[in-house]
A and B are shown apart, each in its own frame.
Chain A
Amino acid sequence: EVQLVESGGGLVKPGGSLRLSCEDSGFSFSDYTMNWVRQAPGKGLEWVSSITNYDYIYYADSVKGRFTISRDNAKNSLYLQMNSLRAEDTAVYYCARNLVLQGVSVYFFDFWGQGTLVTVSS
């Protein structure tokens, strides 16, 4: 059974830092592109960042230069280092796996974690 379990959320002051983790099981983690997607309270979904199985990395403009995505295939884990946090970064952060269609990884998300809440407030 595929499982993605996020951790590391919490309350942080503006300008502060936080590191999120996503521990994955039930699939060959190293073969998949992984993503972070966030959802502000009562709002819609926003793609944040991706890391491919070849370690190509992409960021939304809203977090570029402040967030860093990484992965540790030996630990089946995905990370998001968040620096210079702002109030508008307040959201539930989900890790999500890319869908693979006929051997091709595509940017739809077929498995999601339960999310971890990040609150940026003084």
Chain B
Amino acid sequence: EIVLTQSPATLSLSPGERATLSCRASQSVSDYLAWYQQKPGQAPRLLIYDASNRATGIPARFSGSGSGTDFTLTISSLEPEDFAVYYCQHRSHWPPTFGGGTRVEIK
């Protein structure tokens, strides 16, 4: 099974700052990677699929990049509602697996 490692575990930033989150795969997943946002007490929300495609209704401040084993989620300017936990997930090999998450907290 492919292991996804997210870093950092916690990111402390202020509103308006740029957030850069990393996801590294234990082997190539091509561009078959997604990013989700999860707020406390809520279900995850799909943000990005296939590395760089925004899901329906996702604001343009969210962008994804990368391929192979190294991926990045960038939030260009943090809004108050963006403070949450973010997970990456691949669909390259069976089974689909998730990373351990990065918490973006208010500094």
> A45, A58, A60, A101: which contacts B44 (Cβ < 8 A)?
A45
Is the beta-carbon distance between A113 and B98 smaller than 8 angstroms? Answer: no
B54 within 8 A of A: no
Contact A47 to B55, CB < 8 A, known contacts A99-B49, A108-B49, A108-B89:
no
Contact A112 to B43, CB < 8 A, known contacts A44-B100, A45-B87, A45-B89:
yes
Query: How far in angstroms is the closest Cβ of chain A from B40?
Result: 11
Is the beta-carbon distance between A113 and B43 smaller than 8 angstroms? Answer: yes
- 24 CB contacts below 8 A, A to B, read A44-B87, A44-B99, A44-B101, A45-B36, A45-B44, A45-B98, A46-B98, A47-B95, A47-B97, A47-B98, A58-B94, A58-B95, A60-B95, A99-B49, A99-B55, A101-B49, A106-B49, A107-B91, A108-B46, A108-B89, A108-B91, A109-B89, A110-B46, A112-B44
Q: How far is the CA of A112 from the CA of B97 in the complex (A)?
A: 16
> A44, A58, A99, A114: which contacts B46 (Cβ < 8 A)?
A99
Is the beta-carbon distance between B43 and A106 smaller than 8 angstroms? Answer: no
A94 within 8 A of B: yes
> B34, B97, B99: which contacts A108 (Cβ < 8 A)?
B34
Interface centre among B56, B91, B96, B99 (most CB of A within 10 A): B96
Residues of A within 8 A of B (CB): 44-47, 58, 60, 94, 99, 101, 106-110, 112-115
Query: How far in angstroms is the closest Cβ of chain A from B58?
Result: 11
8 A-B pairs besides A58-B95, A106-B91, A107-B91 with CB distance below 8 A are: A44-B87, A44-B100, A99-B46, A101-B49, A101-B50, A109-B44, A110-B55, A114-B43
Is the beta-carbon distance between B95 and A115 smaller than 8 angstroms? Answer: no
Interface flags for B42-78 (1: CB within 8 Å of A; 0: not) read 1111100110000110000000000000000000000
Q: How far is the CA of A109 from the CA of B38 in the complex (A)?
A: 13
